[in-house]
Amino acid sequence: MTVPLSLTLPHFDEADPDAPGQQDAQEQDSAAGNGNGASTLKDLLPDSALSPSIVLQLQAKPNGISSNAQYADASTAANKPEVTNASAAGARQLQLTGSAWVSRFPTSTSVNDLTPDFKGKVSDFLGAIKNAGGSISISATYRPPERAYLMHYAWAVSHGTVAPNAVPAMAGVNIQWDHGDDKASKQAAKDMVKGYHMRHAAALGSNHTKRLAIDMTITGMTGKKIKGKNGTEVEIKQDSDLYPVGASYGVNKLINDPPHWSANGH
C-alpha cells in the first residue's frame, strides 16, 4: 500500500548564512553530489525513526524545504498474490468421450450400498437362492449419478437422439462430447455404450441411483426348490419361476431387463 504524505519542516532563508545547520546541510549536499539541494529523511531523523518500508524524498526549494513522502508497505506488496497464467490452472479441463470413461465413477456391486430396508429384502432373497443350491453373480447395486449421466448420454449420442454439442454439462464430470466431427463423436459414444454393456437406454435418475435396485445373474436353479418369504417351497422349472419368489421377499423383476431386480419392478 502506498500512502502519499505531505510534510512541512522548519526552514530558513537561503541567504541567511547564520541559519543553524545551513552550512552543514550545504556541505552534506555537496558531498553527496546532490546539486539540486535534495536531502533525505535519513539526514534529518535518527536511524531509530526510520523504517525500511518508508521511502521519503525531501526537495529543497528557494523559500524553504517541502517534502513529498510515500510509504511503500513492503509487507503488503510481498503478500499480494501474483497474477500469472497459473491462476487459470483451475479452469475446467475437458476430456473427449471414449472408452476411458467407462472405469470412472464405478458402480457398486455390494449389497451393503443399498438402502437398509431394501438391503434386508435382497439379503433374504439371496439367502434363499443359496440355500436352494443356486449361484449369484452381482453386476450392479448403487450407481453414482455421474455414471448414470455418462451412460444416459453415451446411449443418446450414439443413437443420434441428442447432438454431441447439445449434451448438458454435469458438475464434476469434465467430459467433452463433441469431437468436432459427428462421426467421431458417435463412435466414441458407441465405445462407451459397449464398455458399459448397455442393452437399452439408462435413466438419469433410477432405482440404481436411489440404492433400490440390483442387477444379478442367477444360475443353477433349474430343477430345484426354493422357499418363498412365507416358507412355501416352489420348484423352479424355468427362470421366470423365480420372479414371484423374489416378489415375496420384496425384490421385483423387471421383465425386459434380464439382470435387473428392484424395490418396485422398474
Whether 85 is covered by a domain: the verdict is no
Which CATH number does the domain housing residue 157 bear?
3.30.1380
Whether 55 is covered by a domain: the verdict is yes
Whether 177 is covered by a domain: the verdict is yes
Q: Name which of 118, 100, 125 is nearest 211 in CA terms.
A: 118
**Residue at 120: amino acid letter:** G
From CA 25, how far away is CA 6, in angstroms rounded?
Answer: 21
User: By residue range, what is the domain housing residue 149?
Assistant: 95-262
Whether 86 is covered by a domain: the verdict is no
Same domain flag for 152 and 213: yes
Same domain flag for 103 and 226: yes
What residue has cell string 437406454? 201
Per-residue pLDDT, 84:
29
Same domain flag for 135 and 254: yes
Residue where one domain finishes, among candidates 76, 106, 136 = 76
Same domain flag for 26 and 67: yes
Per-residue pLDDT, 92:
65
| Total-model pTM | 0.61
Residue pair 190/249 in contact (Cβ under 8 Å)? The answer is: no
Residue pair 264/252 in contact (Cβ under 8 Å)? The answer is: yes
CA-to-CA separations, 105 to 151, 158, 188, 214, in angstroms, rounded:
11, 20, 18, 17
Whether 58 is covered by a domain: the verdict is yes
Whether 213 is covered by a domain: the verdict is yes
Tally of domains within the chain? 2
Whether 90 is covered by a domain: the verdict is no
Same domain flag for 10 and 103: no
Whether 38 is covered by a domain: the verdict is yes
Same domain flag for 6 and 132: no
Same domain flag for 19 and 115: no
Q: What is the pLDDT along the chain (266 residues), one digit of tens a residue?
A: 444 444 444 444 444 444 444 444 444 444 444 444 444 444 544 554 444 444 434 344 444 444 343 433 433 333 333 332 323 333 469 999 999 999 999 999 999 999 999 999 999 999 999 999 999 999 999 999 999 999 999 999 999 999 999 999 999 999 999 999 999 999 999 999 999 999 889 999 999 999 999 999 999 999 999 999 999 999 999 999 999 999 999 999 999 889 999 999 99
Residue where one domain finishes, among candidates 22, 44, 76 = 76
Per-residue pLDDT, 20:
46
Same domain flag for 55 and 112: no
Same domain flag for 120 and 10: no
Same domain flag for 135 and 103: yes
Same domain flag for 39 and 111: no
Per-residue pLDDT, 248:
98
**CA dihedral over 19, 20, 21, 27, signed as positive or negative:** positive
Same domain flag for 108 and 211: yes
